[in-house]
């Protein structure tokens, strides 16, 4: 495994960030996506300041109950990159990274709950939210009544 001089930078532009005790919610206004970063992922993301090397971030992982393992940091960074939460692409390929399953096997099932995870979802645009249309089909129009449904319930 080669040690990388990469100092990743967390993207901050066009994001709304809400820090909670055990996770961080990040809303990407450009992509209308909401991301939930668990405690370890948000810890790693907060250290992406463009000056902190990957090895130093890995050395800090015991603060969030993880082993000081560069692979854990690199896996989290790849997930952050995939969620468009880093300023630029990373220099290592997906094939160089262990899978989450491999990390669980390496550190045991108990580590599964603290390994970095990002859960993402499409968030409704303000127009969609205001219209009550969850899928963007009505675009502010009132939903059509289903005559068959109305006949059935009368």
8 Å CB contact between 11 and 84? yes
Label residue 1 by pLDDT band (50, 70, 90): very low
C-alpha separations of 48 from 54, 112, 148 in Å: 9, 23, 56
CA angle 52, 54, 55 (to 5 degrees): 105
pTM score: 0.74
Q: Residue 139 above 70 pLDDT?
A: no
Which pLDDT value is given to residue 89? 73
pLDDT at 63 over 60: yes
Angle, CA of 53, 54 and 57, to the nearest 5°: 95
Predicted confidence band of residue 54 (pLDDT cuts 50, 70, 90): very high
CA dist 118 and 79 (Å) reads 7
Give the pLDDT score at 3: 44
For the chain, the 3-state helix, strand and coil shares in percent, each to the nearest 5, are: 40, 15, 45
């Amino acid at each position: 495994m080669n040690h990388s001089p990469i100092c990743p930078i967390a993207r901050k532009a066009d994001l709304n960030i809400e820090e909670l005790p055990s996770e961080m919610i990040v809303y990407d206004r450009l992509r209308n996506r909401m991301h939930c970063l668990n405690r370890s992922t948000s810890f790693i993301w907060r250290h992406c300041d463009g000056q902190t090397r990957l090895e130093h971030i890995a050395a800090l992982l015991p603060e969030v109950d993880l082993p000081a393992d560069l692979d854990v940091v690199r896996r989290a960074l790849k997930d952050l990159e995939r969620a468009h939460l880093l300023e630029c692409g990373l220099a290592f390929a997906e094939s160089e990274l262990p899978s989450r399953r491999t990390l669980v096997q390496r550190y045991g099932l108990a580590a599964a709950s603290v390994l970095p995870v990002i859960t993402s979802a499409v968030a409704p645009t303000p127009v969609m939210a205001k219209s009550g249309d969850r899928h963007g089909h009505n675009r502010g129009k009132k939903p059509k009544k289903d005559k068959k449904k109305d006949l059935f319930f009368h």
